[in-house]
Amino acid sequence: MAADVIEIGTISDEALMREFQGGSRPAFEHLYERYRGPLYGFFRRRLNGDQRAEDLAQEVFLAVIRAAEHYEPTALVRTYLYGIAMNLLAVERRRIAKDSPPGKESPEPATREAADSVLWIRQGLEKLDDSEREILMLREYEQLSYAEIADLIHLPVNTVRSRLFRARMALKAHLEPGRTISETAAASESRENVGLARAEGEAI
Amino acid sequence: MNKVIHPIEPEELMAYLDGELTADGASAAAAHLGECAECQTLVAELQSVSQSLKSWKVEPPEPAMPSAIETALAEKQPESRKLIPVPKSTWREVLGRRWPVLAWAGTAAAVLLLVFGALTPNLLRSRSSVKSSKSQMSTYLVPESAPPSASPTVTPRASGIVAGVIAEKGREQGYITRSLSAGNSSVSEQEDKSEEVEPLASSVPPVHGPMIIRTAQLSLITKEFDKARTNLEAILKQHRGFVGELKVGGNAGSGRTLTATLRVPADQLDGMLADTKKLGRVDSESQGGQDTTSEYVDLQARLSNAHNTAQRLTEILRNRTGKLADVLAVEQELDRVRGEIEEMEAERKTMLNQVSYATLTATITEDYQAQLQAVPPSTSTRLGNAAVEGYRNMVEGILSLALFLLSNGPSLLLWSAILFMPVRFVWKKVRRSFAS
């Protein structure tokens, strides 16, 4: 079958998805190969337990298989996958919150080698506002664009940009023990004052 | 504070680093960055944050494709490939192509089985091997007699049954999820396993993609009302739909109105609309669609979690001993989870039904024109009518008298008997007085 011969790396996700819709198993295998790591990382960084992360990443692919017939290319495949992942994550978090008493969940480093630095980063992320943390993680770890993030969490792009900036500044303050968030904010205030005077609706 | 004029906002600098600025914006940002030490510091800070975050790496997942995905792919592939070249469809292909029909058939089968289960509870109870105290739980979780890995014929069946529900470890531990009654399993097991996969799987359709609840409203005006009504029923039958509700108002000979709520398979809605429009002049038309994909995915995930929770609780009940209070607490929790599962199953089925079948509200109004009787009736007709009227009046009069006598005669006779003697006495006395 001609559709079975696919050169990985040369075909976009969307084309692979279309091939898969047409019944090509190799196309799905390529998609799986591309996204199994990122999706596993998505869940691994947000939940405790590598097995659960693997299960949920697997659920994303199962959802793709089941919905392949009805998939319509209204968004990037990447956004589609992370959209499913976000839904599953929300459900999982609700379940965890229901099953375990508050405060029971303890941070668990994702890697043993870099336990200290990871713990440091995780503590910084934990201190962030939920929305800001999610935006920062989607940008830094999932490498999503502002528009993709906005699409996923249903916020305007400018809001995403503002929150991402705040999150980075807040994390910077945490990672620099000698410098507080207020100092960081004050340092950027002078620039913002001038910046706001410029055309406000200027699009990126 | 010594304020410096910066033509570029800090957020824009960040966007520049992230590659989110337009070409003009990026060149402006780069130009400013080249000459502004403060902005260079900010950029360095932002880069430092990103660098720090990158130090959090996660170990790679297992490279092998999980068996659940392999199984799902194996089930999916033949269905997809059959879609393309086959000129003449067999019933299997029709079912595979038209999942809403499949879903409806499955739902109908489920309803029939539930009705059957309700009518013959003793039979089903006797076939169920689960103890009576846990029979309700067996509605959802039935342990397989052999682990899936040891029985290759069981694996596709189990995964087919749980297709719509996000299956987790329950599948690996030999549990299958069923949305039907316990009796269903005993009935199904008598059939060929390869045959029973489809109806059971179709009752839980594996839908995660766009799920649109389609609705349409059509208002028509027609001169031939009766014909339009007959044709509407024929069109509905042709598109495999059914009547949800139908009302006809108005008298024959006057302007009548038919209002019908019709349910047709979602993929038949367009054809149904086109055919219905031919029945008369379109007065108004509207269509709508509600995307329930995210709600459905969320519901499925919640359902899956509830099943897992129920499974864990059942495991605890089976394998662990403890205080009576603890056991009762687990039983109580299990009951609560079961209740949640039932509610979610009902919600899921309702949603599937709404998605599978579109709702068409059709209103057909008769375009009635009152007609004047220009020619008066003839004399003979009038005489005949008068004779008939006279006869009718005579019969009515006799009938009325008879009715009066029958209804009041006994009372009149009674009072006559009572008053006869006193009246006679008075009458004689009066006569005597006149005579003297």
Longest dimension (CA), chain A: 63
Q: Please indicate, yes or no, if residue B71 is contained in any of the structural domains.
A: yes
Q: Do B62 and A54 touch (CB under 8 A)?
A: yes
CB B251 within 8 A of CB B225: no
Q: Which residues from B are below 8 Å from A54, CB to CB?
A: 61-62, 66
Q: Apex CA B207: angle with CA B204 and CA B135, to 5°?
A: 25
pLDDT tens, residue by residue, B368-411: 666 565 567 788 889 999 999 999 999 999 999 999 999 999 99
Q: Residue type at B25?
A: G
Distance from CA of B58 to the nearest CA of A (A): 6
Per the domain annotation, does B422 fall within a domain?
A: no
User: Which whole number is the average pLDDT over A104-110?
Assistant: 49
How far is the alpha carbon of B174 from chain A, nearest alpha carbon, in Å? 17
Does the distance separating the beta carbons of B12 and A171 come in below 8 Å? no
**Identity (one letter) of the amino acid at A149?**
I
Instruction: Verify that B116 and B198 share a domain, yes or no.
Output: yes
Whether B230 and B276 share a structural domain? yes
ipTM of the complex, rounded to two decimals = 0.77
Query: B155-167 pLDDT, tens per residue?
Result: 333 333 333 333 3
Q: Which residues of A touch B42 (CB under 8 A)?
A: 188, 191
Interface size between A and B, measured as CB pairs under 8 A? 192
pLDDT tens for each residue of B85-140: 334 444 455 445 555 556 666 677 777 776 665 555 444 444 443 333 333 333 33
Q: What is the pLDDT of residues A24-77, one digit of tens each?
A: 888 888 889 889 999 999 999 998 877 888 889 999 999 988 888 777 777 788
Which has the closest alpha carbon to B173: B311, B72, B62? B311
A chain contacts of residue B14, beta-carbon cutoff 8 Å: 161, 164-165, 168
Q: Assess whether B311 and B277 both reside in one domain.
A: no
Whether residue B157 sits in one domain with residue B124: yes
CA A115 to chain centre: 22
Checking if the pLDDT of A1 tops 50, the result is no
- Looking at the fold, whether B248 and B153 belong to one and the same domain comes out as no
Three-class secondary structure assignment of chain A? CHHHCCCCCCCCHHHHHHHHHCCCHHHHHHHHHHHHHHHHHHHHHHCCCHHHHHHHHHHHHHHHHHHHHHCCCCCCHHHHHHHHHHHHHHHHHHHHHHHCCCCCCCCCCCCCCCHHHHHHHHHHHHHCCHHHHHHHHHHHCCCCCHHHHHHHHCCCHHHHHHHHHHHHHHHHHHHCCCCCHHHHHHHHHHHHHHHHHCCCCCCC
Q: Considering only CB atoms, which chain B residues are within 8 Å of A68?
A: 76, 80, 209
Which residues, 6 or more positions from B416, have their beta carbon under 8 angstroms from its beta carbon? none
Cross-chain Cβ contact A66/B5 below 8 Å:
no
A103-108's contacts with Cβ under 8 Å and 24+ in sequence apart are: A105/A48, A106/A48, A107/A48, A108/A48, A108/A49
In a domain, B84, yes or no: no
Residue entry with tokens 């620039």: A191
Distance from CA of A131 to the nearest CA of B (A): 17
The last residue of a domain, from among B177, B203, B229? B203
Q: Taking a C-beta distance cutoff of 8 angstroms, is the pair B301, A86 a contact?
A: no
- Closest among B152, B129, B153 to B142, alpha carbons compared: B129
Question: Which residue in B6, B56, B301 is closest to A45 by CB distance?
Answer: B56
- Whether B374 is covered by a domain: the verdict is no
Report yes or no: A145 and A135 within 8 Å, Cβ to Cβ: no
Residue B432 lies in a domain: no
Q: In sequence order, what are the residues at sequence separation of 6 or more whose Cβ sits closer than 8 angstroms to the Cβ of residue A117?
A: B52, B55, B56
* Chain-chain contact of B55 with A118 (C-beta, under 8 angstroms): yes
B109 domain residue, yes or no:
yes
Is position B239 within any domain?
A: yes
More confident residue, A24 or B154: A24
In a 3-state reduction of DSSP, which class is residue B178? Answer: coil
Please answer yes or no on whether B55 and A121 come within 8 Å at the CB atom. Answer: yes
- Using the Cβ of A49 and the Cβ atoms of chain B, whether some distance falls under 8 Å is answered with no
Contact of B135 with B127, CB cutoff 8 Å? no
Residue type, B109: A
Helical spans, DSSP H, in B55-98: 67-81, 91-97
Q: Is residue B271 domain-shared with residue B344, that is, in the same domain?
A: no
How far is it, in rounded angstroms, from Cα A203 to Cα B395? 94
User: The tokens of B15 are what?
Assistant: 């966007």
**B181 and B222 belong to one structural domain:** no
What angle in degrees, to the nearest 10, is found between the helix axes of A146-153 and A77-99?
A: 50
Q: How far does the CA of residue A144 sit from the closest CA of chain B (Å)?
A: 10
Name the residue among A55, A70, A145 with its Cβ closest to that of B207.
Answer: A70
Q: Facing residues of B215 across strands?
A: B288, B359
How near does any CA of chain B get to the CA of A119, in Å?
9
pLDDT, average across residues B56-62: 82
**CATH at B243:** 3.30.70
CB contacts, 8 Å: A198 with chain B: 7, 9
Cβ pair B69:A117 closer than 8 A: no
Domains recognised in chain A with CATH numbers: 1-106 (1.10.1740.10), 107-204 (1.10.10.10)
- The top-scoring range by mean pLDDT among A3-12, B30-39, B94-103 is B30-39
Same domain membership, residue B305 and residue B265? no
Q: How many domains does one find in chain B?
A: 4
Q: Are residues B123 and B239 in the same domain?
A: no
Is the Cβ of A148 closer than 8 Å to some Cβ of chain B?
no
The pLDDT score that the predictor gives to residue A197 is 42
Query: Measured between CA atoms, how close is A201 to chain B, in angstroms?
Result: 13
pLDDT top residue among A106 and B426: B426
Q: For residues A189 and A204, which has the higher predicted lDDT (pLDDT)?
A: A189
Q: Return the residue of A nearest to B52 by Cα.
A: A121
pLDDT on residue A87 = 92
Do B199 and B71 fall within a single domain? yes
Alpha-carbon distance of A55 to B172, in angstroms, equals: 12
Distance CA B83, CA A68 (A): 13
% chain B with pLDDT above 90: 12
Contact B73/A25, CB-based, under 8 Å?
yes
Q: How far is B270 from chain A (nearest CA, A)?
A: 18
Residue A171 C-beta-side C-alpha neighbours within 13 Å: 31
Indicate which of A32, A44, A58 best probes the interface with B, i.e. most B CBs within 10 Å of its own CB: A58
How far apart CA B271 and CA B355 sit, in angstroms, is 17
CB contact under 8 A, A145 and B20: yes
Contacts of B10 in chain A (CB under 8 A): 165, 188, 191-192, 195
SS3 content of chain B, % helix, strand, coil (to 5): 60, 15, 25
Residue B377 domain-assigned (yes or no): no
Task: For residue range B325-338, list pLDDT tens digits in order.
Answer: 777 888 888 888 88
Q: Could you list the residue range(s) of the whole structural domain that residue B329 is in?
A: 294-354
A95 in reach of chain B (CB within 8 A): yes
Per-residue model confidence as pLDDT tens digits over B260-318: 899 988 888 888 888 888 888 888 888 888 878 878 888 888 888 888 888 888 877 77
- Residue A189: how many other CB atoms lie within 10 Å: 14
Q: Do B53 and A136 touch (CB under 8 A)?
A: yes
Q: Distance (Å, rounded) from C-alpha A133 to C-alpha A124?
A: 10
Q: Which of A25, A36, A45 is nearest residue B58 as measured by Cβ atoms?
A: A45
One domain, residues B217 and B278: yes
| Residue A194 distance to chain B (closest CA, Å) | 6
Q: Cβ of A34 under 8 Å from any chain B Cβ?
A: no
Burial of B49 (0-12, 13-18, 19+ CB in 10 A): buried
- For residues B188 and B115, state if they share a domain: yes
Would you call A110 and B57 a contact, using CB atoms and an 8 Å cutoff?
yes
The full 3-state SS of B329-376, as one line of letters, equals: HHHHHHHHHHHHHHHHHHHHHHHHHHHHEEEEEEEEEECCCCCCCCCC
